[in-house]
Each structure stands twice: as structure tokens, then as C-alpha cells.
Amino acid sequence: MTETLSFDRAAVAGGRDRFFAPVGRRPVIMGIVNVTPDSFSDGGLFASRAAALAQARKLAADGADIVDVGAESTRPGHTPVPPEAEWARLEPLLAALVAEAGVPVSIDTYKGITARRALAVGVSIVNDVWGLQRDPDIAPAIAEAEAGVVIMHNREATDPEIDIVSDMLQFFDRSLEIARRAGISDAHIALDPGIGFGKSRLQNYDALRATPRLLSLGFPLLIGVSRKSIFKGLPDGAIEGRLIGTLAANLLAAGDGAQIFRVHDVAEHRAAFEVFSCLRAAPAKG
């Protein structure tokens, strides 16, 4: 039996616009809430409704501009989750999160039916790790709800021999064609180079350094490097120890013009970005 879902487009658009409004004026922070048992960093910590709501409120209080909720780990080697199992993790939480978080909510999914259900309870942004290219229903769902979208670059397998930046540009061309054909406005799109997805370590570094080239496409750029394994070489190899590498990479990307940052550690990033913005705004004296 087909579900009948309706969207409160005004509410969705309100959250969407709150998310995009600061872009270009200051760094925008997307806080992460994983309601998964197997995410690489915080799997199982926020699987309960109470823990997830508490974490979302904390992220908002720490300075997050939006809370991104995911119910399927996308780490290397993860076990895919069927849509019904994904929604079983999300359904007890999302409506309350939209009502109580105090900031817009985005859904981290590549499945059309999950996106539709989330948008029907007031989620404003769809964060698709397959850039609208995995499920043909997801772009129409976003367009119908008048939501925003983060289009992330991804690959089925890593190939260290390819030019990863050229691959990203070709991928984004395909994704943007899908978005426009579905009726998604360019003004409601952000791009994500997909650090840690289908790339070797060197290709991840190339993707980060490509920020200026990717910005030439004319869309806000989201960087998602938080606690990822590209920082394993740091002296402190613990997950929490990757904060130093995450901050360094995000500040580098901010200096190159990236505008949105998906992170676990919101308070630390808000403080670092405030210093970054003050230093950039300080008048130079000869």
C-alpha cells in the first residue's frame, strides 16, 4: 500500500532558508547526530530517543546552525540498512527533534522513501551521500517539498590512479542535471567533495585542496572531515584526538572559501571560527 505523505512547504522552506541565509557571511556549522549502532565515531551513543534529543539540544546550544540526523552508517565496510529499518530508528525521534532542537534539521539519507517521510515531519534539508544518483525518487521528493539538498561526491570503489578532482566535477555535472530536471532550485543546493568516500588518502587531500576549483561551480561548499581516518597519522590516534586534525583541515578549507562544516565537536569549531573570522576582518596596518 502506497503511503500518502504531505509536506508543510512553508515550514520546510523556513528551515531551508535559515540554513542557507548565513552562507557567505560566516562559517555555517552542521552538527551531527547519529542514531546508529555502528557509526565509526559515536555508534550507539545516541540510539535512544532521549539521548538523541539531548545531543541535538546540546549541539544547538553550542552553536550549530543545523542538526544532521542519520540512521545508517556510511563508514567503509558498513552494513546497508533497508528503508524500513532506517525509518524505525528515525520515526520515534524526528518530529520531536524538528519541534525541539531550536535549529533546522537535515536528514542524512540516500533513499527516496526515507527522505519523503522525513520531509513530511518538517525536516528541511536532505544530505545525500550519493549525490541524487543512487535512488531516482530522492530528487523529486526534495523538489516536491521545496527542501534544500547537499549533493555529495561518492564512488563505488577507490581508484588511486584517477584524477579525483576531474571525477568530482563530472559527478557534480550529472547530479546538478538530475536536480534541475526534478525542479530543485540552484539556490537550494550545496556541494560536498565527499572526504573519506571512495578516495585514497592522497585523493582526500587533493579533494580538500580543490576547494577553490569546486567553488567555481557557483554553489556553497560543505566540508565533512570530522574525526575521519585521514587523520590517523596524528600522534594521538584516538577518535577524540582527531579533533586537532579536523580543526586544522576545516580552517584551511574556510580560508579557501568553504562555507559549511559538518562536525561532531560544535563548540570547539564555533570558537575556532570566531577567531578565524576576527583575524580575517582585522584591518591590516602597514
Q: pLDDT tens-digit profile of 194-221?
A: 999 999 999 999 999 999 999 999 999 9
Q: What is the pLDDT of residue 42?
A: 47
Out of 117, 199, 228, 242, pick the active-site residue: 228
pLDDT in tens, 184-196: 999 999 999 999 9
Is residue 280 among the annotated active site residues? no
CA dist., res. 152 & res. 194, Å (int): 5
Mean pLDDT score, 2-23: 93
Type of residue numbered 12: V
CATH of 9-155+163-280, one of 2.40.110.10, 3.20.20.20, 3.90.1170.50, 3.90.640.10: 3.20.20.20
Say if residues 146 and 126 touch (Cβ distance below 8 Å): no
pLDDT in tens, 153-175: 999 999 999 999 999 999 999 99
Question: Which letter, b or e, does each residue of 76-87 get, where b requires 16 or more Cβ atoms within 10 Å of its Cβ?
Answer: eeeeebeeeebb
CA dist., res. 6 & res. 13, Å (int): 14
Say if residues 28 and 19 touch (Cβ distance below 8 Å): yes
Is residue 58 among the annotated active site residues? no
CA distances from 146 to 12, 64, 79, 162 (A): 7, 23, 31, 36
What secondary structure letter does DSSP report for 228?
-
CA dist., res. 154 & res. 61, Å (int): 32
User: What are the residue boundaries of the structural domains of the chain, listed by start?
Assistant: 9-155+163-280
Out of 25, 262, 270, 285, pick the active-site residue: 262
